[in-house]
Amino acid sequence: MKYSLWTFAVLAAFSISSCQVPNSVKIDEAGIIPIPTSISSSAGVFELAPTSSIQLIGEGDDLSRVGNFLADKLRPATGFEIPVSNENGDLILELVSGSASEKYNINISSDQVKITSTSAAGLYYGMQTLIKALPVEIENTSKVDAEWMIGNGIIEDQPEFSYRGAMLDVARHFISIEDVKHYIDQMGSLKLNYLHLHLSDDQGWRIEIKSWPKLTEIGGKTEVGGTEGGFFTQEDYKEIIQYAADRFITIVPEIDMPGHTNAALAAYAELNPGVNLPDGDFATMTEGKIDFDILDKNPQPAELYTGIEVGFSTFATNKEITYTFVEDVIKELVALTPGPYIHIGGDESHVTEKDDYIYFVERVQEIVIKYGKTSIGWDEIATAKLAPGTVAQFWALEENAKLAKEQGNQILMSPAKRAYLDMQYDSTSRLGLHWAAYIELDDSYNWDPATYADGINKSDILGVEAPLWTETITNRSDIEYMAFPRLAALAEVAWSSSERRNWDDFKKRVALQGKRWDINGIEFYRSPKVDW
């Protein structure tokens, strides 16, 4: 016999490891969400080994933090030590010189994986891609037996939009700091980079303001349904900001005004318009007529509100005390908030006279500018004169988005029919509203921000944000049911180009993502559109 059995066995083993890469480990078959700009797969595999280690090339705390994140993610399931250092390693994170961008590359060969970027944020996104390129078992928090293989290849990736956001409404139901952090973790894994916190509404005021303490003492007491509310102390808020920043996520705080302000109006009588009398209060009536002078001097505090109807409250836009108040709040928020934006709300102010509304929005933008920040507001603010740089968040009316564009301002895309995570999936969904639409997973996925609204093009758009309103949502499990899998679809809409997006392909990838969510204990909605 010319060839021994051994030779045959060695040849067979060689061909499996270097040529016939099983489909399950091919890099272009991995369930990477959002889909990268380009993936090219080649022969062979990289395998994580007990001796694997992370090598950092470059300087800075951000770089070490990304290295440690990766190590912390890989250690539990593999049981490997995975040291992090500047010494030679087979998992390389390299900060390269060049103007900082979120772009990254990954080069996977049989002996090493190398991620390069000009920024630590880019390396963080590369790391998230690498994790999704590994077998789903990597999500386990204790050791499992698996072959930790990744198919060889090259990934090049960069985001389509610079603002990729999610919003949590912590006002209708208060959401604990732990649950906010948990949401931030999920956002990071989907390469989202802005978390908008809706901190005040009719039903609650959720951020401590030291100069106006009754906002939280009174305004934070309750929530929708009458259960106990809550609020973030300034220390809590700073903790959230840091936790988010460690994951390259910027917090955008929102104080919704001049409407949606009942909680503040319950805390401070003087912010109320004088004529806002509770039913049946005749104390300020003279001969059956309301005495407006007395009311203006002695306005009544509003009652705390625990329902879900909106549009009935307004600050007194004609009183100086209102602007003193707004300035104090903005000053304290700005001192705590490193990000560039303050969200000033501005939606559904149905009981504010149009002229008063415009005056208010214009004045509040100036206050935000005075403290060095840029305003974002719901699309209605575009009916006022927008300051340069102010961003209009499109949720309802295309004509408002157009008004913003005509003024030379950018638009943040959150069309309620596609991007609202509080909309029901269908009529059987156990939670959610449906005033805008029923939104199944394919509806969240199959739209293009750059063509969605007539006349609004890619260059007019700052980015995409997925808001989660919490009228019907009370805890982590509710959040997970509404946000997942749709947040993954919207993250791909925000990150990946429309040419790269494909529903049939996404369906396969999100099914793999579902396995990860199962391991993470995330109670996502099992959309019937996907073969989970």
- Note the residues at the interface with ligand TNX (CB under 6 A): 310, 347-348, 378, 395, 420, 422, 433, 469, 471
- Nearer to ligand TNX among residue 143 and residue 350 (C-beta): 350
Whose CA is closest to 195, among 125, 243, 250, 241? Answer: 250
Choosing from 348, 362, 398, 523, the catalytic residue is 348
Q: Give dist(CA 490, CA 496) in Å, integer.
A: 10
Instruction: Report the nearest approach of ligand TNX to the CB of residue 459 (Å).
Output: 24
The pairing of beta strand 200-201 with beta strand 194-198: unpaired
Local structure of 224: helix, strand or coil:
helix
Q: Give dist(CA 43, CA 468) in Å, integer.
A: 43
Instruction: Report the nearest approach of ligand TNX to the CB of residue 416 (Å).
Output: 6
Using CA atoms, how far residue 259 sits from 162, 215, 269, 312, in Å, is 30, 16, 15, 7
Q: What secondary structure letter does DSSP report for 461? A: E
DSSP-assigned states of every residue in 150-204: EEEEEEEE--S-SEEEEEEETTTS---HHHHHHHHHHHHHTT--EEEEE-EETTE
Q: Which two tokens stand for residue 339?
A: 């990000």
Q: Give dist(CA 504, CA 445) in Å, integer.
A: 11
**Which positions ≥6 away from 282 have C-beta within 8 Å?**
none
Instruction: Report the nearest approach of ligand TNX to the CB of residue 396 (Å).
Output: 7
Instruction: Report the nearest approach of ligand TNX to the CB of residue 308 (Å).
Output: 8
Q: What secondary structure letter does DSSP report for 97? A: S
The pairing of beta strand 204-205 with beta strand 200-201: antiparallel
Instruction: Report the nearest approach of ligand TNX to the CB of residue 199 (Å).
Output: 13
Instruction: Report the nearest approach of ligand TNX to the CB of residue 467 (Å).
Output: 7
**Which positions ≥6 away from 87 have C-beta within 8 Å?**
53, 55
Whose CA is closest to 267, among 323, 226, 208? Answer: 208
Q: Is 366 a catalytic residue?
A: no
Q: Which two tokens stand for residue 117?
A: 């970027």
- Nearer to ligand TNX among residue 310 and residue 368 (C-beta): 310
- Nearer to ligand TNX among residue 208 and residue 422 (C-beta): 422
- Nearer to ligand TNX among residue 25 and residue 252 (C-beta): 252
- Nearer to ligand TNX among residue 422 and residue 460 (C-beta): 422
- CA dihedral 18→22→26→30, nearest 10 degrees, is -150
Please report how many Cα atoms fall inside a 13 Å half-sphere around the Cα of residue 169, on the Cβ side. Answer: 28
- Nearer to ligand TNX among residue 276 and residue 313 (C-beta): 313
* Residue matched to tokens 């930790």: 148
Instruction: Report the nearest approach of ligand TNX to the CB of residue 277 (Å).
Output: 25
Q: How far is CA 344 from the centre of its chain?
A: 18
- Nearer to ligand TNX among residue 157 and residue 347 (C-beta): 347
DSSP-assigned states of every residue in 292-338: HHHHHHSPPPPPP--S---S-----TT-HHHHHHHHHHHHHHHHH--
Instruction: Report the nearest approach of ligand TNX to the CB of residue 347 (Å).
Output: 3
Instruction: Report the nearest approach of ligand TNX to the CB of residue 269 (Å).
Output: 24
- Nearer to ligand TNX among residue 325 and residue 378 (C-beta): 378
The pairing of beta strand 194-198 with beta strand 250-257: parallel
Q: What secondary structure letter does DSSP report for 122? A: H
* CB-CB contact of 17 with 151 (8 Å): no
Q: Give dist(CA 367, CA 330) in Å, integer.
A: 8
Catalytic residues: 348
